[in-house]
Amino acid sequence: MSSPVSRRLPDFPWDQLTEYADRARTHPDGIVDLSMGTPVDPTPDVVRRALEAASDSPGYPQTIGLPETRRAAIDWLSRRHGVTGLGLDGVLPVVGTKELVASLPMQLGLGLGDTVVIPELAYPTYAVGARLVGARTVATDSLTSLGPERPALLWLNSPSNPTGRVLPVAHLRKVVDWCRDRGTLVVSDECYLECAWEGEPVSVLHPEVCGASHDGVLSVHSLSKRSNLAGYRCGFVAGDPTVVAELLAVRKNLGLIQPGPQQVAMAAALADDAHADEQHARYSARRTTLKAALEGSGFRVDHSEASLYLWATRDEDCWRTVARLADRGMLVAPGTFYGRAGAQHVRVALTAKDERIEAAARRLGEAAS
């Protein structure tokens, strides 16, 4: 009999915040929840109209996705991010990118004896996917620390969750070359690619990074942040057609199919830049307000040049910071959720309504006075 899930997987991190959430809710003006990157703004009308028009969908959709949906992804990557040379056989819609991240090692056939490399500070689901199949996980940002090892899979995440760090082109190119020399598949989680404030993120599929070929390279894209489609579970993976074909074959057998109406909605979202620019402006304004308030109350904000978070520290244990802010009615994520290197940081999300961001700024200001 297989091991219980409680033994195979770590505890779900956010369950550890329950006590602090309860404490924050006692604030007279209510909780300001900045602990998760959950969109709170409306789904764009152009997307909702597309979904409604496609809602009569009685048949099974194809796992590979509609040609127009894959074409919209190709056009978006080209138009907004300079990616060239990508064909329809190099794009595959997925049922939200967390599903893909968590199950990718399984879909690739990895298991005992394989190594998966993840960033030193990383979205916990990278490690969960490796752990589910019994693969070994190495958390490092240094290729030299891996020595002669030949990992099966290496995850990149730029812009980073949680730090908001943007990896430069030269570094991305170095990683791709290193992986190709060793036969390692490099997969770049780029769900915050359009959430940049001070840096200029570049896709791993850009020719300056991977050259004229996408061999051995995949990128993962989500519309949850760009287009407020977290509830639609819309995303896609793109890159090496051989690897995409392998994933397609597995996903056909598993029934992992993005629903037909969502495929139409995703195509509409990717084709429309206006709503994405409007949402970008919203987040930019919230970031300006929250960053100034954090710094004014004694925090230092590290990295954070992109993504939807501020990586903040008071140079104290992160759980002490979580408790301090909970006493002010604010809930944030402790840095240890993302790795041991986050022990003195907290991740502060920008995904709250303007009124709640202003409330957080006021409370931080009161704490500083």
Q: Are residues 201 and 286 in the same domain?
A: no
Question: What value does the mean pLDDT take over residues 260-287?
Answer: 98
| Helix axis angle, 274-296 to 354-368, nearest 10° | 10
In this predicted structure, what is the pLDDT of residue 4?
Answer: 56
Domain boundary among 240, 272, 304: 272
pLDDT band at residue 1 under the 50/70/90 scheme? very low
CATH of the domain at 290: 3.90.1150.10
- Identify whether residues 188 and 319 lie together within a single domain: no
Q: Are residues 177 and 165 in the same domain?
A: yes
Q: With bands split at pLDDT 50, 70 and 90, how would you rate the model's confidence at 367? A: confident
For position 70, which CATH number holds? 3.40.640.10
Q: How many structural domains is the chain composed of? A: 2
**Do 71 and 185 reside in the same domain of the chain?**
yes
Regarding whether 307 and 250 lie in a shared domain, the answer is no
Question: Same structural domain for residues 118 and 251?
Answer: yes
Which of 226, 252, 272 is where one domain is finished? 272
* pLDDT value, residue 13: 77
Q: Which has the higher per-residue pLDDT, 8 or 107?
A: 107
- Read off the pLDDT of residues 138-162 as tens digits, 9 standing for 90 and up: 999 999 999 999 999 999 999 999 9
Are 61 and 146 contained in the same domain? yes
Given a contact cutoff of 8 angstroms between Cβ atoms, the answer to whether 297 and 365 are in contact is yes
Q: Could you tell me if 197 and 248 lie in one domain? A: yes
**pLDDT tens by residue, 298-314:** 999 999 999 999 999 99
One DSSP character per residue, 205-242 reads: TSHHHHTT--TTEEEEEESHHHHS-GGGTEEEEEE-HH
Please state the rounded mean pLDDT for residues 75-99.
97
Q: Are residues 148 and 244 in the same domain?
A: yes
289 is in which domain, residue-wise? 5-42+275-368
Q: Which residues are CB-neighbours of 186 under 8 A, at least 6 positions away? A: 154, 156, 175, 176, 179, 204, 216, 217, 218
